[in-house]
Structures are given as structure tokens and as C-alpha cells.
Amino acid sequence: MTELDRERLVHVPGSKSISNRALICAALANSQSVITNPAPGDDTQAMLDGLRKLGVSILRDGDSVRINGGLDLESTTVVELQTRLAGTTSRFLTALASLRHGATTIDGDAPLRTRPMGGLHAALRMLGATVVSSGAEGFLPVTVNRGSSWQNQIVIDSTTSSQFTSALMMIAPYMPKGLEIELRGKVVSRGYLDMTVAVMREFGARTEISDNVIWVAPGVYHGKNFSVEPDASSASYPSAAVAIAGGSSIIAGLTRNSSQRDVEFLDVLSKMGCQVRQVERGIQISRDASVALQGVDVDMSDISDCVPTLTVVAMFANSPTKISGVGFIRAKESNRIGDLAGELRKLGAQISENDDGLTISPAPLHAAMLVTHHDHRLAMAFALIGLKVPDIVIGTPEVVSKSWPSYFEDFDKFTIN
């Protein structure tokens, strides 16, 4: 390994998506689990806090979490959960709460109360759970508890959020007859459903996904030692830094056969002119700064969390980039089409909004103050602009605590010249 490779060995946090799935399975499991390399951010902490309030014994010790499992689903205790800004956590805990005899109220901070939950709430009602909204229908806060019986088949709209489907999948082993889910419409973020299947199987569930039908057998999860992969979404930022500024980095521990579809972001950068290869320590990405970046035309429906990252990279390409297939990301932590485009236009960027994405064309850029709209992915992507444009100011940069609390400290390490 060269000196440059040693300097640019980048460690990203554990996967937030995998961590939250593993924590749900471990909480329900019939024996103890130890989860290593869990994600460090606020969303994961909100999940841990929620599970503790539900009565799960959890010990976090450095880079591991010990979970005793055996969540008492017969408890009649009334519980209130505060999930802060964590959309995935709130949805997964809502589904989990529908297995409990006692009532559970799930709420969050004001921005989370604006995010759509109606598809999940309606699905839980159809399956037999009691779901009562305290405010606007289809939004938080909501109170949930187990009904008198469970249905074992459901058709769900899969065009809004894969998190609704994943939430149902993870509780399905604890339904008397399991569950068959038919996905109606274009499935967004299908890779996350594959990830859910993979994590559930690790904990002993029997589940299959074929075309637009998911089947989960009744059963129980078994405790296990589970190691969380490096976060492929987080890996997009140091990878994008290489694409923008040139050089070479290795994303430590990440592999091309990751269960996370966001690893495919590296293929997009390859099409733009970067070199990507698997090496012993991880995935290496390199670019000769003297060779111009090329624009691309790409459907990002399966890697939508990387849209802000690619949009920023595309501003430094020598030809237009068109991103499609991601109209649904308007309902993420921010409007990741409208808010993203609006902020980047402050720099002079030439960006047009489409029904299902964005088109970015080359344009001269200048300094500006950018607002994050409570969105960690906007904040982390905006930081990359400063590699080429001086005097970029990011408002409320602390939102990165959602998934990568030390991002700005680590940023200096993975952007060394």
C-alpha cells in the first residue's frame, strides 16, 4: 500500500439502515444479541431509547450494543416514545408497537410531524391493529396497540416509501399466520427491501421476495452476534470528494457485494470518469484531477439517498447530468428536490427540477450561505462544494448528528491533498 493510500484510508460509520433493522430483530429475539459497529447518530440513539422505554434491556459499550431481547408483547403498560427527527425509527417503532397489548404513542419533533405516515398507519389498520391519530390523519403523533386478530395478506402502495413495507416485514414473523405482502405500483428503493430480508434471515426469519410479492413465515427471531457493515450512503461523501478534487481514497471495510444498494453510487462515479476497484482494505476510488468529469443520465430510484451527493458532484462536470426516478424524495427529511435545487442556485448553479428528478448543467459558481432544511444529507453534500468554491457557509451544520456526528472533523481527514 502506498503512502497516499495510508493517508486516505477513510472510515465511515456503520450503516444506519442496517443498524435499525438489526435492533428491531434483536429486541424481539428469544435470546441475547450483540451488535457491533452500530451507527453512531441520533436516529440510532432514538431507536435505542425507544426500545428501552418499551422494556428492552440494552447496554451500549463502546462499539457494541448488547440486547437481551424478549420484548414483552403482553405488557399492558402505556408507553410514550419520542423519536425526534428519525423517520425510519418512528416507522419501525410504530409497526413494532402494533404487536403490543398495551398502547404506545409515537411522536417526534415538528419537522417529523410533517412527514407522511399514512400508508403505514392504513396498512396496520387493515392487518388488524388499532391505530389512532392524535393530530392530522396519516401523521404523527399516533397511538398504536394490538387488535383482536391479524390478517395474513395485504396489498400495499409501494410508490411512497419502502420503509412502510420493511416495517411490516419485520413484525410479520410474530403474526399468527405470518404475512404475504403484494407491492402495488413501482417499487421505490427496492434495495432496502432486499436489505430487510437479509437482516431478518440473519436473525432466523424465513422470508422470500419475488417480483412484487413478499412472504414471511410465522416464527421467532433468535439472538446472535451481528456486525454492521460500513454505511454505503455515508461512503458517498468521501467518494464524491475524490470525484470533485481528484486523488485517491479507500473506503475501509466496504465491499462491492454489500447488502446496501447505495454502493452502486460508485458505479455512477465510474461513469463520470473515476476509477473504482475492490482492494484488500475496502473499495478504492481515484481520479486524475487533470481529466474532466463527465455528466451522466441516471435513474437513482434505488440509491435515492445519494441524490444530494451526485447533484453536487454534477455541478463540477463538463456536461449536463440528468437524475430521474426520485420524485418521492420530496417527502424525505427535506424536499430533496426543491430544497436542494433552491439552495444550490444560490451558488449560481444551473439546476432545473423535473417531475421525477433534476437536471444539472455546467455553470460558474460563487460563494453563498446554504440552509440545510433540517436535512443531514444536504449538510454533508454542501460541505463538498467547499473543495472547489471558497467561502461556502452552511447554516445549522449540526444536523449531521443524525447519521455521522463527527462528519466535519472527519471531513478534514478524507479531503487531505
DSSP 3-state percent helix, strand, coil across the chain (nearest 5): 35, 25, 40
Domains and CATH numbers, the chain: 13-215 (3.65.10.10), 232-414 (3.65.10.10)
Among the listed residues 107, 231, 305, 339, the single catalytic one is 305
Of 96, 100, 101, 141, nearest to 117 (Cα)? Answer: 141
- The span from the CA of 1 to the CA of 11, in Å, is 16
DSSP of 48-88:
HHHHHHTT--EEEETTEEEE-----TT----EEEE-TT-HH
The per-residue pLDDT string of the chain (417 residues; one tens digit each, 9 = 90 and over) reads 343 444 489 999 999 999 999 999 999 999 999 999 999 999 999 999 999 999 999 999 889 999 999 999 999 999 999 999 999 999 999 999 999 999 999 999 999 999 989 999 999 999 999 999 998 999 999 999 999 999 999 999 887 788 999 999 999 999 999 999 999 988 878 889 999 999 999 999 999 998 899 999 999 999 999 999 999 999 999 999 999 999 999 999 999 999 999 999 999 999 999 999 999 999 999 999 999 999 999 999 999 999 999 999 999 999 999 999 999 999 888 999 999 999 999 999 999 999 999 999 999 999 999 999 999 999 999 999 999 999 999 999 999 999 999 999 999 888 755
The reported pTM is: 0.92
For residue 252, report the phi and psi dihedrals to the nearest 5 degrees.
-60, 130
Surface-to-core class of residue 3, CB atoms within 10 Å of its CB (0-12 exposed, 13-18 middle, 19+ buried): exposed
Beta bridge partners, 352, equal 359
Determine whether 49 is an active site residue: no
